[in-house]
Structure 1
Amino acid sequence: MKFLYTPVQGTSATTISRFARHRGPFIALRTLSYVKGVMAPLTAAQIQLHPEYANVDWELKADTKERISVAKGRGGPFKLSYELHGHGPKKLLFICGLGGFIRSWQRQIKDFGHAQADKYTVLAFDNRGMGMSDKPFMRYTTTEMAKDIVELLDHVGWIADRSVHVIGVSLGGMISQELALLIPTRICSLNLISTAPRIIRTKPFLENIRNRINLVVPKEIDAQIAKVKSDCYSQSWLDMPDETEHVVQPFPTNGDRFAAAELSKRSSTRQFTRKGYLLQLLAAGNHSKTAKQLSQLGDRVGRQRILVFHGTIDRMITFEPHATLLLKELGGEEGGVTKVFYDDCGHVASFEKRREFNAFISQHVEKTENL
């Protein structure tokens, strides 16, 4: 069977042809409609019938994949799951955001750890509370989560001075700040993505916290995913045809691919739990680094080694005041910090601006390797 597109009256031929490349075999007949020239999102039920749904999590073979014990004497021990990809001299550590798994970084794992395996070694892992890592019921803090990472780095032998490039997004960026304070001399570059030194209690943020909690409160799945999409991505990107490489056929839009990945993640009741999600959420909400602490971080790591990246239309951790505050308290551009404030970009630049994001990271890695 083929996709059957039924445009509403008045839809232009140009708009229809824009999506024509997505026609292909499908296991269930479906009628798509356009609203104001934009394809309506697939429902959760339709996404699960799409032939690409089974392939949203890529088969990227790790060079090393195991679970290690961490946090002995700190409420543990418990298991932390990690993977190593590639065998190059430049060591990249990717730290997930709230509710993220290793698979959250699969684009960068592929682009750095496979396509450039001779140049990079990628270390990705599941934070406590998510994925294949254990989910102990205890208070999570960004400091304790950073200590988990120190033990992981020790285990894989990433202990030399100026040897580790840290890339942390959102909650992962908060953990990265703590990690840099714990092991400043190991850090070759510190890349803080869509994050904050502390959460300013603005009304939009408090609404986002409620919305985040609501993600694990039973309700209609399509409404849950629609809210995550609007908080984390620009509408223009969501509405664009699926630009990610595919196995069988593309999804109609980027938004549909994201929804498929989110559905796949939530379908794994072992890896994604309400308990783990809420414990991570509390860690993010309680993260707080003062101006003095950030100044010390800049002194110890070196401001030329720090990059602050934030999308200007981020609705999860808002651009203002968080991005400008983080940049200022680290020492600012005048102190040597690299600033990337990206227009028309939401919370997850590694998806939405994949090529540009990767380019900024690789350029910063090269710069700091030569300091």
Structure 2
Amino acid sequence: MTSTSEAVPLTAAELQLHPEFPHVNWKLIPTKRGKVAAAKCRGGPVNIAYEVHGNGPAHIVVSNLSSIDRSNIISSHELPGLRIRRYGWVLRLKIKVVHQKELYEYCELINGLLPLMRYSTSEMAKDIIEVLDQLNWKKERQLNVVGISMGGMISQELGLLIPKRIASLSLVSTAAAIENTVGLIENLRNRINLFMPRSLDAQIVMIKHNLFSPEWLSRPDECEFVEDKFPTNGDRIGAGEVAKRLDTKSYTKRGFICQAIAAGWHHKTPEQLASLGDQVGRERIMVIHGGIDRMITFPHAHVLIQGLGGEGSGMTIKLEPGQGHVIPIEMRQTFNGWVEELIEKAERLS
């Protein structure tokens, strides 16, 4: 019998036949929903629909760009985020955590539609602020911001725009600016590969390679399930990718290109990072990064940490040598514990 570590990954066709495939994405029932016409004076309006879940005392703003943000790999008490849908950016802030047996307030921005315009992480942050204002989340030290990947870039912008409203700021697998850290030839190859047309099976292989560690992918499916577990974590990730690609209205090449451009434009200078640390408070900031991250390579973490004040400045720093780009999924319980600890620390500071 073939061992789990040697198991051949399921193909896209096989994944769709798996009994768990219909349940790979999960749905949450909102307690409140509405719309905000954002960016009226900035080239808009940008119509953003939002949902609020829960009515607890704490407010956690999670921003993330992820191909699996609706997957059950992140269960109902964890932290998905922000992604592209339709023809432009969709702001998808999910804020729901069980902490000391209390349900935190949870907000989700969906069905956004943008006009044709240059878009950037700073503009996206301004849109988020308009939604937060609409929700009346305006108090000092009220927002616990968790920014993952490009969401971390947006979160840096939030920290500079509304620093006193932020109670804690977690920057996960992100960068102050995208730099070439792998050499000219490999950098060019990686950029070309992003836009090369390829089969669905090839896309799944690339996504898994770029985002996750091989050891975790080969382990048995660790996620909660409805009908049956997938053979491996990698197969569950593949199923989420297939489901996303089949949703042609939500996932578009144009949206993907917009994401890549916005990330490429993001640039925070050492002076801006120092200001971010000063205004938010370094004891309220946490930086998390994986040592084998192929999307935003490890040297970016050191630049970010140094710019914010460096080791010994009061920041919480979590560097995981064997982890890839999606630490919140590979280290679910540990990651949630880190976030909870920072929130508790921020509450004491406030």
Distance 2:147 2:180 in 1: 22
What's the counterpart of residue 51 of structure 1?
19
- Equivalence for 1:86: 54
Which of 81, 89, 96 is the equivalent residue of 1:113? 96
Q: What pairs up with 1:324-343 in 2 under 5 angstroms? A: 324-343=302-321
Q: Which residue of 2 aligns with 1:369?
A: 347
Residues 1:268 and 2:247 aligned together: yes
Contact 2:68/2:240 (CA < 8 Å) preserved in 1?
no
Contact 1:94 1:105 in 2 (8 A): no
Opposite residue 140 of structure 1, the aligned amino acid is Y
Larger-gyration structure (1/2): 1
Contact 2:67 2:241 in 1 (8 A): no
**What residue is the counterpart of 2:266 in the other structure?**
287
Q: How far apart are residue 77 of structure 1 and its match?
A: 0.7
1:259 is displaced (CA, Å) by: 0.9
- Aligned-pair identity in percent equals 45
Q: Give the C-alpha shift of residue 50 in structure 1.
A: 0.7
Map residues 216-227 of structure 1 onto 2, 5 A cutoff: 217=197, 219-227=198-206
Instruction: For structure 2, list consecutive stretches of 5 or more residues without a partner in the other structure.
Output: 79-94
Bigger RCO of structures 1 and 2 (CA < 8 A, at least 6 apart): 2
- How far residue 67 of structure 1 moved from its aligned partner, in angstroms, is 3.7
Q: How does 1:139-288 map to 2 (within 5 A)?
A: 139-202=118-181, 203=183, 204-214=186-196, 217=197, 219-288=198-267
Verify the 8 A CA contact 1:194 1:323 in the aligned structure 2: yes
Q: 1:336/1:327 Cα in 2 relative to 1: closer, same or farther (>3 Å)? A: same
For structure 1, the 5+ residue unaligned runs are: 1-6, 20-36, 127-131
In 1, distance between residues paired with 2:50 and 2:191?
28
**Structure 2 CA distance for aligned equivalents of residues 250 and 105 of structure 1:** 11
Aligned length: 329
- Separation (CA, whole Å) in 2 of partners of 1:100 and 1:80: 20
8 A contact 1:314–1:346 mirrored in 2: yes
Query: CA–CA distance in 1 between the matches of 2:203 and 2:228?
Result: 25
Cα deviation for residue 81 of structure 1 reads 3.4
| AA matched with 1:121 | E
308 and 115 in structure 1: CA distance in 2 versus 1, 3 angstrom threshold = closer
Q: Which digits, 9 at most, give the CA deviation of each residue in 1:300-326, with x for residues without a partner?
A: 11111110000111111011x100110
Give the TM-score, by structure 2 length.
0.88
**1:26-75: CA deviation from partner (whole Å, max 9, x where unpaired):** xxxxxxxxxxx511110000001111010011132222234422111212
